[in-house]
Amino acid sequence: MESTEKKRGRVAVVVLGDIGRSPRMQYHALSLAEQENLLVDIVANGGSDPHVSIREHHSIRIYQMNPPSVPTLAAVKLSSWLRRSKFIIDWHNFGYTLLGLSHGRNHIIVKTYHWFESYFGRMADGSLCVTKAMQHELAENWEIKATVLYDQPPEFFHPTSMKEKHELFCRLKNDICPPNGAFDCIHTRNEKSFRFEASNELDHPSDSLFTSQVGNDIFLKPNRPALVVSSTSWTPDEDFSILLQAALMYDRRVSGVLGEDDSITEEKLWLDICKGEQLYPRLLFIITGKGPEKAKYEQQIKKLKLRRVAFRTMWLSAEDYPLLLGSADLGVSLHTSSSGLDLPMKVVDMFGCGLPVCAASYSCIKELVKVEKNGLLFSSPSELADEFMMLFKGFPDKCESLKSLKDGALAKSSSSKWSTEWETHAMPLISEIIS
Q: Is the dihedral of CA 427, 432, 434, 435 positive or negative?
A: positive
The DSSP-derived string for 260-293 is: --TT--HHHHHHHHHTT--SS--EEEEEE---TT
Domain-by-domain residue ranges, the chain? Answer: 10-152+417-434, 162-415
What is the pLDDT at residue 226?
96
Alpha helices in 49-161, H assignment, sequence order = 52-55, 69-82, 95-103, 108-121, 132-141
3-state secondary structure of 101: helix
Of the ranges 33-37, 101-105, 209-213, 216-220, which one carries the lowest mean pLDDT score?
101-105
Q: At 147, which helix (H) or strand (E)? A: strand 147-148
> d(Cα 319, Cα 301) in Å, to the nearest integer?
27
Q: At 430, which helix (H) or strand (E)? A: helix 427-434
Higher pLDDT, 30 or 184: 30
> Is the confidence at residue 9, as pLDDT, over 60?
yes
> d(Cα 287, Cα 325) in Å, to the nearest integer?
11
For 212, list phi and psi in degrees, rounded to 5: -130, 150
What is the pLDDT at residue 98?
86
Contact 33, 4 (CB under 8 A): no
What is the pLDDT at residue 191?
35
> d(Cα 34, Cα 53) in Å, to the nearest integer?
11
Q: What angle do CA 315, 24, 94 make, to 5 degrees?
A: 100
What is the pLDDT at residue 293?
87
Q: Classify domain 10-152+417-434 at the CATH superfamily level.
A: Glycogen Phosphorylase B; (3.40.50.2000)
The DSSP-derived string for 309-337 is: EEEEEE---TTHHHHHHHH-SEEEE-B--
Give the CB-side neighbour count of residue 430, counting CA atoms within 13 A. 18
Band of residue 193 on the pLDDT scale cut at 50, 70, 90: very low
- Residues 258, 299, 322, 169, Cα dihedral to 10°: -60
- Which residues is 312 bridged to in the sheet? 286
What is the pLDDT at residue 286?
97
What is the pLDDT at residue 92?
92
> Is the confidence at residue 73, as pLDDT, over 90?
no
What is the pLDDT at residue 434?
77
> d(Cα 129, Cα 134) in Å, to the nearest integer?
7
> Is the confidence at residue 265, as pLDDT, over 70?
no
> d(Cα 406, Cα 289) in Å, to the nearest integer?
24
% of residues, the chain, pLDDT over 90? 62
Of the ranges 41-55, 143-157, 201-215, 415-429, which one carries the lowest mean pLDDT score?
201-215
Amino acid at 15: V
Report the range out of 61-70, 258-267, 377-386 with the highest average pLDDT. 377-386
47: phi > 0 → left, psi -120 to 50 → alpha, else beta; which? left
3-state secondary structure of 171: helix
pLDDT tens by residue, 217-258: 999 998 899 999 999 888 777 889 999 999 999 999 988 876
> Is the confidence at residue 306, as pLDDT, over 90?
no
> d(Cα 8, Cα 367) in Å, to the nearest integer?
37
The two domains 10-152+417-434 and 162-415 share their CATH topology (first three levels equal): yes
Could you tell me which residues come within 8 angstroms of residue 277 by beta carbon, excluding any fewer than 6 positions away?
none
What CATH class is the domain 162-415?
A: alpha beta
What is the pLDDT at residue 8?
81
CA dist 111 to 96, 166, 209, Å? Answer: 7, 51, 51
3-state secondary structure of 228: strand
What is the pLDDT at residue 3?
39
Mean pLDDT of 47-59: 91
> Is the confidence at residue 183, as pLDDT, over 80?
no
Mean pLDDT of 300-312: 88
The DSSP-derived string for 347-403 is: HHHHHHTT--EEEE--TTGGGT--BTTTEEEESSHHHHHHHHHHHHTTTTTS-HHHH
Strand order in the sheet with 39-45: 10-18, 39-45, 60-64
Q: Which of these, 435, 387, 380, 418, lies nearest to 128 by C-alpha position?
A: 418
pLDDT tens by residue, 367-390: 999 999 999 999 999 999 999 999
pLDDT tens by residue, 408-417: 999 988 777 8
> Is the confidence at residue 262, as pLDDT, over 80?
no
Quote the DSSP letter at residue 235: S
> Is the confidence at residue 198, as pLDDT, over 80?
no
What is the pLDDT at residue 80?
92
Of the ranges 131-140, 273-282, 285-294, which one carries the lowest mean pLDDT score?
273-282
Q: Which of these, 83, 93, 159, 163, lies nearest to 121 by C-alpha position?
A: 93
> Is the confidence at residue 259, as pLDDT, over 80?
no
> Is the confidence at residue 194, as pLDDT, over 50?
no
Integer-rounded Cα radius of gyration of the chain: 24
> d(Cα 51, Cα 431) in Å, to the nearest integer?
27
Band of residue 192 on the pLDDT scale cut at 50, 70, 90: very low
> Is the confidence at residue 196, as pLDDT, over 50?
no
What is the pLDDT at residue 422?
95
Give the mean pLDDT of the chain: 87
Give the CB-side neighbour count of residue 185, counting CA atoms within 13 A. 28
Q: What's the pTM value of the predicted model, to 2 decimals?
A: 0.85
Could you tell me which residues come within 8 angstroms of residue 131 by beta carbon, excluding any fewer than 6 positions away?
148, 150, 341, 342, 343, 364, 367
What is the pLDDT at residue 138?
97
